[in-house]
Structure 1
Amino acid sequence: MNVIVDFNDETNSITEEQQKLIESVILKTAELEQLTGDIEVSVSVVDEQRIQEINKEYRDKDQPTDVISFALNEQEEDEPEFVYSEDMPNILGDIIISSPHITRQAMEYGHSFERELGFLTVHGMLHLLGYDHMTEADEKEMFSRQEDILAAYGLTR
């Protein structure tokens, strides 16, 4: 398995080490979710204003949020199924993280910036893989999986 992370920090707030953390957490998630082949994920770190604009435009919610994911492999019932060629990567989608939320939530939950960054990255990655938290059962499954991945990586509370 080869994982390509296309990283863009619009805020210039993420260090090189933190960028490597993002890439490593995505790789760990892919391993534990038993993904195979070439995989590509886009990660952008943005400010609060930008994530609010994205949230309003795509989710009709005019408020900032901590992380938004856009899965490219999600398929609507009336859409044809996309067939991947073995010589092209499986482009999972985009994860957009709010830098101010990382800082705020790390302080609120009493853990490090890196733990929160890892949490939001795994959360976004699991959304790209089809996990959701619309029901209580789905939320329990997703959040349990997040904690398992973070623990396997070594990012505990």
Structure 2
Amino acid sequence: MTLRLDFANEQEEVTLPEGLERRLEELLALAGEMESVDAGDVSVTIVDDEAIRELNLQYRKLDKPTDVLSFSMWESAGEETPIVYGDESEGDDVEDGETVELPDEPIGDIVISAATAKRQSEEYGHSFERELGFLFVHGFLHLIGYDHEDEAAERVMTEKQEQVLRRAGLSR
């Protein structure tokens, strides 16, 4: 069983960093290892602002572009994915460091706006590659059940994102 990435670039206005697909595969492997997710398919599609605006309107009723959207197959299948916080878990008896056996099937889809990511990388003063990596890891964590609805959950998610990015050499 392995984690697999399906990569598609469906925009032409922004030149993506060379080797981006390999970098996202690396980030997927690191995030999967950190979260004990060792099997499944993750699709990432890079789009323009108009395409992500349409998806944002359709699924979130927000008529504006955004940076990243995640569509979890686990949620749509009615499965509740255990979320592991350090040594604790919600809804499952997973020991710290134990691998969670999950079906080798789609985990979900991540859609990233290249134009928005490019703008944000310039605003935040870091590389475009780092911003794309951040958005990908952020999207992956959403796919497996994390959210940032309150301050505590946001801190957990932010630390996990930064941990993966540091391990991949994409620090600020």
> Partners of 1:11 and 1:80 in 2: how far apart?
33
Q: Percent of pairs identical after alignment? A: 46
From 73, 85, 101, give the equivalent of 2:116.
Answer: 101
Q: Which residue of 1 aligns with 2:94?
A: none
Q: Which residue of 1 aligns with 2:138?
A: 123
Q: Give unmatched runs, 5+ long, in structure 1.
A: none
Paired residues, number: 149
> Partners of 1:62 and 1:24 in 2: how far apart?
33
Tell me by how many angstroms 1:141 deviates. Answer: 0.9
> Partners of 1:60 and 1:148 in 2: how far apart?
32
Tell me by how many angstroms 1:28 deviates. Answer: 1.0
Tell me by how many angstroms 1:90 deviates. Answer: 2.9
The DSSP-based 3-state class of the residue aligned with 1:154 is coil
Letter in 1 for 2:162: E
Q: Could you tell me whether the CA contact under 8 Å between 2:72 and 2:142 is conserved in 1? A: yes
Tell me by how many angstroms 1:75 deviates. Answer: 5.4
Q: Which residue of 1 aligns with 2:19?
A: 17
What TM-score do the two structures reach when normalised by structure 1?
0.87
Consecutive aligned runs of 4 or more in structure 1 exceeding 3 Å deviation: none
Q: Give unmatched runs, 5+ long, in structure 2.
A: 81-100
The alpha-carbon distance between structure 1 residues 107 and 51, as it changes in their structure 2 partners (threshold 3 A), is same
Q: Which residue of 2 aligns with 1:48?
A: 49
**Is residue 2:165 matched to residue 1:150?**
yes
> Partners of 1:154 and 1:49 in 2: how far apart?
31
What TM-score do the two structures reach when normalised by structure 2?
0.80
Q: Which residue of 2 aligns with 1:71?
A: 72
Tell me by how many angstroms 1:8 deviates. Answer: 0.9
The alpha-carbon distance between structure 1 residues 80 and 64, as it changes in their structure 2 partners (threshold 3 A), is closer
Q: Could you tell me whether the CA contact under 8 Å between 2:56 and 2:65 is conserved in 1? A: yes
Larger displacement relative to structure 2 (9-18 or 67-76): 9-18
> Partners of 1:35 and 1:139 in 2: how far apart?
21
> Partners of 2:30 and 2:119 in 1: how far apart?
25
Tell me by how many angstroms 1:97 deviates. Answer: 0.2
